[in-house]
């Protein structure tokens, strides 16, 4: 049998305001029947554009050259997608190759039942009666593991969970039994426990339906779990293509080696033990030491007792309890890792400590101030002793101010400096401590990369020598190699400056690199809380066990073993 799809010397160029961008250059790829080929690469490497070009899903500003030979459904020949016009493309889409999108909640139309949406694909390609379409939809829903499909087929997307929605999107792709499924970051928007289930389903797609899968991802753990063969993309070109075992055990290209080395793994020790502080951080530390800290040694910086945060409901509907009776302590100079999936309340706790979300029950003492019922006026003097690093570096800077002005803002607000110009020497010192050249101070936020912005954000948070730093998923918007650098910096600064830190993350491996203690949140309650080594090596709570087992590791053989233990845990 011939290859399902073959890309020959594919090049894609986009016309933009800043001139032409050659997003993909000279890519040669092929996917054999029943094979899972993973394309990995960082954001901007051209992996998504390559995948979308197979279905002719590029915007009007794109110009393509080369050839994409897609085998047709009946295996009688191939068609070059790039030469197809509307009608031809429409015939190919869904039938010969189907797409699974990243975000299941936006890939489904909210105003139609899921069964109707699945049948829509069937209706587009053949004449089919209503009863037949419904039967086909029920059948495919059952096969992707939706319970009670006869009943659920008439439900609307909002009645399903995120993982179930992704199952439905996969069912839509499978219903026409295409030779190729293109899965663009199919698990990125999902929690890690759900991710394991979806990866399991995709594996079954290959085994039971015989579809070839083109998997686009940035997560090396996902690659190790699912892929047969891997193509590594960097800056629009494929730098390495190899069998999954070969790639992980003996990466040839330096970029691949760097990429693999940057992936955080559990149980590799703390970052701060491996880092020696730079001169710039040393200098900053002297300033810190000179600052008198108001919390008595031994007294906790943050202490929560039965903390409850409830968001009010609308129109007499009951409110939503995001945090339900959590006990937490952060001692001076300690880093607490707060781990949980989306909706577990971890961000809400961070916001409550920073005074952004009101506390509705229990007690939360931050730097000696009781937050339950606190007035903004009383809390404002405490704010200068708290630093906050936000998740998305793209939006956490005022786009109209330069980086230096942004970093100087806390100094100006608290009257340490009269204006941004006066604060500049201190700003330069801070920028150097976070390994940014002082010339970056004159740039605007959009002129910096994500990693640089996140480091500038850290500089701003440290400007007033805080005793407590709250970092809300500071690296989850970053590529894996950039993440590694930011984490190193975090570990270095924390080890040297000894501020207490609440590090919020969904990634256990990241938290393991940094935190002294770990608290695991599940649905607003504390599932487990203890020393990092103890929680990760010997989890007591069944949820923590499931969370740990779901985390794919970047090693195909080890991951196969872990997969079995995950199956045992979930079927038990």
Residues 434-453 that bind other proteins (CB under 8 A): 446-449
Rule CB under 8 A: is residue 392 a binding residue for other proteins? yes
Smallest gap, in angstroms, from Cβ of residue 453 to other proteins?
Answer: 11
Pick the binder of other proteins from 255, 388, 503, 566 (CB under 8 A): 388
Pick the binder of other proteins from 260, 280, 413, 523 (CB under 8 A): 413
Rule CB under 8 A: is residue 384 a binding residue for other proteins? yes
Smallest gap, in angstroms, from Cβ of residue 56 to other proteins?
Answer: 11
The DSSP string of 103-170 is -HHHHS-TTS-HHHHHHHHHHHHS---HHHHHHHHHHHHHHTT-SSHHHHTT--GGGS-HHHHHHHHH
Q: Which stretch binds other proteins (CB under 8 A): 337-345, 389-397, 427-435, 555-563?
A: 389-397
Q: CA of 558: how far to CAs of 310, 561, 564, 570, 572, in Å?
A: 42, 5, 10, 18, 21
- Sole residue written with tokens 């890792």: 337
Rule CB under 8 A: is residue 380 a binding residue for other proteins? yes
Rule CB under 8 A: is residue 492 a binding residue for other proteins? no
Smallest gap, in angstroms, from Cβ of residue 87 to other proteins?
Answer: 13
Pick the binder of other proteins from 1, 400, 571, 572 (CB under 8 A): 400
The DSSP string of 539-570 is --SHHHHHHHHHS--S-HHHHHHHHHHHHHHH
Pick the binder of other proteins from 26, 33, 58, 80 (CB under 8 A): 80
3-class SS of residue 368: coil
Residues 3-42 that bind other proteins (CB under 8 A): 11-22
The interface mask with other proteins, positions 550-569, x = CB under 8 A, is --------------------
**Whether the Cβ atoms of residue 350 and residue 502 lie closer than 8 Å to each other:** yes
Pick the binder of other proteins from 44, 113, 333, 361 (CB under 8 A): 44
3-class SS of residue 459: helix
Q: Which stretch binds other proteins (CB under 8 A): 122-130, 386-394, 503-511, 563-571?
A: 386-394
Pick the binder of other proteins from 118, 220, 326, 354 (CB under 8 A): 354
**CA–CA separation, 206 vs 547, rounded Å?**
25
The residue (of 125 and 305) whose beta carbon lies closer to other proteins is 125
3-class SS of residue 445: helix
Q: CA of 158: how far to CAs of 101, 106, 227, in Å?
A: 17, 11, 31
**Whether the Cβ atoms of residue 184 and residue 101 lie closer than 8 Å to each other:** yes
The residue (of 232 and 247) whose beta carbon lies closer to other proteins is 232
The residue (of 335 and 461) whose beta carbon lies closer to other proteins is 461
The interface mask with other proteins, positions 55-74, x = CB under 8 A, is ------xxxxx-x----x--
Q: Which stretch binds other proteins (CB under 8 A): 206-214, 217-225, 297-305, 352-360?
A: 352-360
**Whether the Cβ atoms of residue 489 and residue 266 lie closer than 8 Å to each other:** no
Residues 111-150 that bind other proteins (CB under 8 A): none
Smallest gap, in angstroms, from Cβ of residue 462 to other proteins?
Answer: 12
The residue (of 202 and 477) whose beta carbon lies closer to other proteins is 477
**CA–CA separation, 125 vs 90, rounded Å?**
9
The DSSP string of 504-545 is EES-HHHHHHH-SEEEEEETTEEEEEEEHHHHHHS--SHHHH
Q: What is the 3-state secondary structure (H, E, C) of 320-342?
A: EEEEEEEEEEECCCCEEEEECCC
Chain contacts with other proteins (rule: CB under 8 A): 11-22, 44, 61-65, 67, 72, 77-80, 82-83, 354-356, 380-381, 383-384, 386, 388, 390-392, 395-400, 409-410, 413-414, 446-449, 457, 460
């Amino acid at each position: 049998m011939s290859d399902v799809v073959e890309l020959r010397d594919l090049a894609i160029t986009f016309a933009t305001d800043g001139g032409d961008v050659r997003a993909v250059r000279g890519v040669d790829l092929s996917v054999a029947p029943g094979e899972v080929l993973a394309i990995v690469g960082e954001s901007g490497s051209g992996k998504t554009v390559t995948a979308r070009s197979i279905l002719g899903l590029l915007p009007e500003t794109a110009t393509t050259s080369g050839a994409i030979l897609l085998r047709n459904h009946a295996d009688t020949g191939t068609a070059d997608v790039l030469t197809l016009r509307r009608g031809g493309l429409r015939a190919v889409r869904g039938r010969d190759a189907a797409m699974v999108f990243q975000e299941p909640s936006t890939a489904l139309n909210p105003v139609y039942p899921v069964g109707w949406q699945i049948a829509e694909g069937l209706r587009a390609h053949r004449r089919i009666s209503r009863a037949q379409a419904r039967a086909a939809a029920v059948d495919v829903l059952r096969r992707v593991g939706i319970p009670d499909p006869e009943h659920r087929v008439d439900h609307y997307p909002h009645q399903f969970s995120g993982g179930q929605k992704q199952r439905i999107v996969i069912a839509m792709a499978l219903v026409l039994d295409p030779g190729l499924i293109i899965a663009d970051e199919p698990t990125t928007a999902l929690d890690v426990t759900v991710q394991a289930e979806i990866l399991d389903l995709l594996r079954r797609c290959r085994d039971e339906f015989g579809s070839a899968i083109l998997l686009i991802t940035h997560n090396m753990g996902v690659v190790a779990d699912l892929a047969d063969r891997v193509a590594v993309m960097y800056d629009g070109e494929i730098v390495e293509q190899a069998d999954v075992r070969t790639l992980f055990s003996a990466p040839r290209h330096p970029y691949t080696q760097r990429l693999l080395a940057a992936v955080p793994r559990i149980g590799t020790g703390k970052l701060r033990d491996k880092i020696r502080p730079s001169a710039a951080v040393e200098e900053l530390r002297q300033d810190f030491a000179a600052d008198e800290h108001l919390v008595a040694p031994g007294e906790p910086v943050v202490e929560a007792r039965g903390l409850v945060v409830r968001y009010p409901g609308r129109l007499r509907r009951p409110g939503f309890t995001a945090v339900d009776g959590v006990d937490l302590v952060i001692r001076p100079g300690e880093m607490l890792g707060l781990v949980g999936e989306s909706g577990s309340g971890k961000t809400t706790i961070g916001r409550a400590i920073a005074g952004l979300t009101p506390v509705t029950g229990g007690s939360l003492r931050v730097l000696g101030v009781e937050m339950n019922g606190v007035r903004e006026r009383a809390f404002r003097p405490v704010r200068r002793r708290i630093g906050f690093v936000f998740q998305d570096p793209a939006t956490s800077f005022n786009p109209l101010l330069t980086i230096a002005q942004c970093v100087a803002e806390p100094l100006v607000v608290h009257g340490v400096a009269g204006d941004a110009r006066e604060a500049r020497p201190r700003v330069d010192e801070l920028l150097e401590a976070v390994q940014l050249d002082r010339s970056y101070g004159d740039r605007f936020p959009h002129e910096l990369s994500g990693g640089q912005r996140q480091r500038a954000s850290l500089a701003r948070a440290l400007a007033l020598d805080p005793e407590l730093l709250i970092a809300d998923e500071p690296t989850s918007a970053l590529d894996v190699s950039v993440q590694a650098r930011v984490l190193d910096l975090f570990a270095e600064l924390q080890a040297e400056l000894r501020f207490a830190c609440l590090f919020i993350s969904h990634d256990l491996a990241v938290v393991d690199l940094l935190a002294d203690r770990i608290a695991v949140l599940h649905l607003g309650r504390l599932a487990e809380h203890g020393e990092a080594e103890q929680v990760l090596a010997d989890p007591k709570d069944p949820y923590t066990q499931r969370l740990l087992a779901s985390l794919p590791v970047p090693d195909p053989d080890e991951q196969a073993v872990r997969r079995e233990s995950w199956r045992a845990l979930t079927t038990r």
